Amino acid sequence: MFDAVVENSSNGGILRLKGSLKKNSGDLMLKVSDNGVGLPKDLDFRDTKTFGMQLVNTLVDQLGGAIELKSERGTEFTIMFSGQT
C-alpha cells in the first residue's frame, strides 16, 4: 500500500495518490485526487480531446480495468484492475 502527497507550489493545491492491494481477491486500486475546483459537470472524461485522458482511458481498457470519477470537492479518479489478469 502506498500514499503520497504532492503540493503544487504555484497555487497551493494538493495532489494525493493512494494505492491499495486487496488481500482477498488480489484486486488493485489506484486513487488520484486533488483539492482543486473540480471538473465541469458536463465533462465526459471518457471522450476527451486531451492526450493524457485518452492515454489513461486506453490503458485502463487494454488492461481490463475500470475507472470512476468523482468531482465534488476537487477531483478524484479511482482506477481498478482485477488481479486475475
Q: What is the pLDDT at residue 23?
A: 57
Cβ-contact 77, 33 below 8 angstroms: yes
Domain boundaries defined on the chain? 2-81
> Which residues are CB-contacts of 45 (< 8 A; sequence separation ≥ 6)?
39, 53, 57, 67, 69
Give Cα 16 to chain centroid, integer Å.
Answer: 10
Query: For cell 503544487, what's the residue?
Result: 8
Q: What is the pLDDT at residue 9?
A: 41
Segment 66-81, tens digit of pLDDT: 999 998 878 888 888 8
Q: What is the CATH number of domain 2-81?
A: 3.30.565.10
Segment 4-51, tens digit of pLDDT: 555 444 456 677 767 665 555 678 888 888 877 888 888 898 998 889
Q: What is the pLDDT at residue 12?
A: 61
pLDDT class for 65, splitting at 50, 70, 90? very high
